[in-house]
């Protein structure tokens, strides 16, 4: 999932997909989609640190949700503030 500005439409995404297929044809191209995601009531937490050590932070978030009288619903999602492919694990930030 990558958030898009309001000027991006499904037609633009389809044009970009067609161009991508013409130039490189990656195996995952058919899975690209443009969709709206309505998350509803949410809880969030900012984690700063290596991916391998994020477990306790996610658990704290889950505990908060349960202690607040709510339930987990569906999968969680993450927003990366850096590119994990280009960041040393000890410096990764989310």
The reply to whether 21 and 52 lie within a common domain is no
Q: Which residues form the domain of 78?
A: 39-94
Pair (21, 8) in one structural domain: yes
Domain co-membership, 45 together with 83: yes
Give yes or no: residues 48 and 82 share one domain. yes
Q: Are residues 18 and 53 in the same domain?
A: no
Same domain, 53 and 82: yes
Helix%, strand%, coil% for the chain, nearest 5 = 40, 0, 60
- pLDDT single digits (tens) 29-78: 999 999 988 878 999 999 988 888 899 999 999 999 999 999 998 888 88
pLDDT of 94 strictly over 50: no
| pTM (global) more than 0.85 | no
**Scanning the structure block, which residue is given the tokens 């999932």?**
1
């Amino acid at each position: 999932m990558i958030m898009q500005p309001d000027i991006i439409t499904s037609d633009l995404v389809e044009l970009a997909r067609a161009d991508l297929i013409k130039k490189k044809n990656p195996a995952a191209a058919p899975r690209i989609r443009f969709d709206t995601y309505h998350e509803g009531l949410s809880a969030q937490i900012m984690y700063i640190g290596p991916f391998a050590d994020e477990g306790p932070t996610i658990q704290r978030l889950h505990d908060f949700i349960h202690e607040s009288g709510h339930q987990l619903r569906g999968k969680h999602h993450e927003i990366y503030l850096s590119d994990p492919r280009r960041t040393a694990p000890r410096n990764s930030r989310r």
